[in-house]
């Protein structure tokens, strides 16, 4: 395996969890809901995925457990913000707090126990192709799932009727409601999807990235996923680009160090956040673009008037 290919593989592994979590949150935000609890759902997915895989020996059961756990945990958020209209910002933050505590509790007896690693795909001949063999035909299933999710969500949002409805709800829940669209039900499903994705992303951390369980192993990746959604101005393909850019900066920063270049690592680490702000400004200063892209009712509670 060449160095170039191997660097790209490293970047892909770093970008995949960000991408999966961000694509889920993108759907949530497109429906007009801001769930700041991504970090919490992700860490729950990581611990449940790890525990299920360790107990059964099957990484695939770990994947399923991660997805289900993330979705179940997001249900708590959905109930509070959608059914009883609590503030989304405060509820999302509380969800992260609870998730970090709960995951440590669940995983306490699993720290240091041997993990199960999700094997990478291997197709004879194809995976051995020079330069791109491993990149295209030799990665772990999460990588392929992340790409499928991007394609699926892009199609869903912009090509399907249901996706159109979802975006309409995000833009104006009152008008959508007046048209007879079941706003709350859509949003429930969107939040559940977001939770499932965050759980899947967490499972990638504990089954592929570093197949082990350690407390707080998400280490802020949920927050980066949140930033990515904005960076991408709520466009799935841009989330893909953003996640890989983020991954490349993270890994590139380490390479710069190993080469002894002497650039402050903090500056490199801050670049993606500054870039996000710049992108936000660029898309928001053009009113037409903003209206097209930003879910206008993002973060506002909705209670059907009767």
Partner 1 sequence: MKKLLIGLAAALAVTVSVPAAFAQDKTKACFLYIGSKTDGGWTQAHDIGRQMVDTELGDKVETVFVENVPEGPDAERAIERLARSGCAIIFTTSFGFMDQTVAVAAKFPDVKFEHATGYKTAPNLAVYNSRFYEGRYIQGQIAAKMSKVGVAGYIASFPIPEVVMGINAFVLGAQTVNPDFKLKVVWANTWFDAGKEADAAKVLIDQGVDIITQHTDSTGPMQVAAERGIMAFGQASDMIAAGPKTQLTAIVDTWGPYYVKRIKAVMDGSWKSENIWDGLKDGILTMAPYTNMPDDVKAMAMETEAKIKSGELKPFTGPIMKQDGTEWLKAGESADDGVLSGLNFYVAGVDDKLPQ
Partner 2 sequence: MRIELVKRPQHSKLFSVLSPFIALALTLVAGAIMFALLGKNPFQALFFYFVDPLRELWSLHELAIKAAPLILIAVGLSICYLSNNWNIGAEGQFIIGGIVGSILPVVYPGIQGPLVLPLMLLMGMLGGAAYASIPALLKTRFNTNEILTSLMLVYVAQLFLDWLVRGPWRNPEGNNFPETRRFHADAILPELFPADGRANWGIVFAILAGILAWLFITRTLKGFEVRVIGSSPRAGRFAGFSSKKMVFFAFMVSGALAGLAGISEVSGAIGQLRPSISPGYGFAAIIVAFLGRLNPLGIIAAGFLLALTYLGGEAAQISLGISDKVARVFQGMLLFFVLGCDTLIHYRIRFVGLARQEGQPAGAPKAAAPAAEGA
- Contact positions vs partner 1 (CB under 8 A): 3, 6-7, 10, 14, 104, 108, 111-112, 114, 117, 205, 209-212, 214-215, 217, 219, 221, 250-251, 254-255, 257-260, 262, 264-266
Site string for partner 2, 273-302 (x = CB under 8 A): xx-xx--xx--xx-x--x---x---xx---
Q: Please, which residues have CB within 8 angstroms of residue 302's CB and are 6 or more apart in sequence?
A: 32, 82, 85, 173, 174, 177, 183, 184, 187
Q: Which residues contact 249 (CB under 8 A, 6 or more apart)?
A: 268, 269, 271, 272
Q: Pick what 212 binds: partner 2, partner 1, none; C-beta below 5 to 8 Å, kind-dependent.
A: partner 1
Please tell me whether residue 85 binds partner 2 under the rule CB under 8 A: yes
> How far, in Å, are 47, 63, 142, 190 from residue 67 at the CA level?
11, 6, 12, 14
Span interacting with partner 2, options 58-66, 93-101, 194-202, 239-247, rule CB under 8 A: 93-101
Phi, psi torsion values for 185, nearest 5 degrees: -65, -45
104 lines the binding site for partner 2 (CB under 8 A) = yes
* Residue 100 partner contact from partner 2, partner 1, none using kind-dependent CB cut-offs of 5 to 8 Å: partner 2
x/- contact string, 205-224, with partner 2 (CB under 8 A)? Answer: ------------------x-
Locate 215 and state its tokens. Answer: 């407390």
**HEC letters along 179-236:** CCCCHHHHHHHHHHHHHHHHHHHHHHHHHHHCCCCCCCCCCCHHHHHHHHHHHCCCCH
Asked if 74 interacts with partner 2 (CB under 8 A), we say no
> Which residue, 10 or 87, is less far from partner 2 as judged by CB?
87
- Of residues 179 through 198, those in contact with partner 2 by CB under 8 A are 179-185
Q: Which one of partner 2, partner 1, none interacts with residue 267, CB within 5 to 8 A by kind?
A: partner 2
């Amino acid at each position: 395996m060449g160095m170039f290919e191997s660097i790209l593989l490293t970047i892909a592994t770093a970008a995949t969890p960000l991408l999966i979590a961000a694509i889920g949150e993108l759907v949530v935000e497109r429906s007009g809901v801001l769930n700041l609890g991504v970090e919490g759902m992700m860490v729950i997915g990581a611990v449940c995925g790890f525990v299920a895989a360790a107990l059964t020996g099957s990484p695939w059961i770990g994947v399923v457990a991660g997805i289900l756990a993330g979705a179940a945990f997001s249900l708590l958020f959905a109930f509070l913000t959608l059914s009883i209209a609590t503030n989304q910002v405060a509820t999302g933050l509380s969800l992260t707090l609870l998730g970090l505590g709960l995951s440590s509790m669940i995983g306490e007896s699993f720290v240091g126990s041997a993990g199960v690693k999700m094997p990478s795909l291997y197709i004879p001949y194809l995976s051995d192709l020079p330069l791109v063999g491993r990149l295209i035909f030799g990665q772990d299933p999460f990588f392929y799932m992340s790409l499928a999710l991007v394609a699926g969500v892009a199609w869903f949002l912009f090509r399907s009727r249901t996706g159109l409805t979802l975006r309409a709800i995000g833009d104006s829940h009152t008008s959508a409601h007046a048209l007879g669209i079941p706003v709350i039900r859509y949003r429930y499903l969107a939040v559940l999807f977001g939770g499932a994705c965050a759980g899947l992303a967490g499972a990638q951390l504990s089954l592929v990235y570093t197949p082990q369980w350690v407390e707080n192993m998400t280490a802020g990746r949920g927050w980066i996923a949140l930033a990515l959604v904005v960076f991408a101005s709520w466009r799935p393909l841009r989330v893909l680009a953003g996640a890989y850019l983020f991954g490349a900066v993270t890994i590139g920063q380490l390479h710069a160090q190993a080469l002894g270049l002497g650039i402050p690592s903090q500056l490199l680490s801050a670049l993606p956040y500054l870039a996000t702000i710049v992108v936000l400004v660029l898309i928001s200063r053009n009113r037409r673009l903003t209206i097209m892209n930003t879910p206008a009712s993002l973060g506002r509670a909705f209670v059907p008037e009767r």
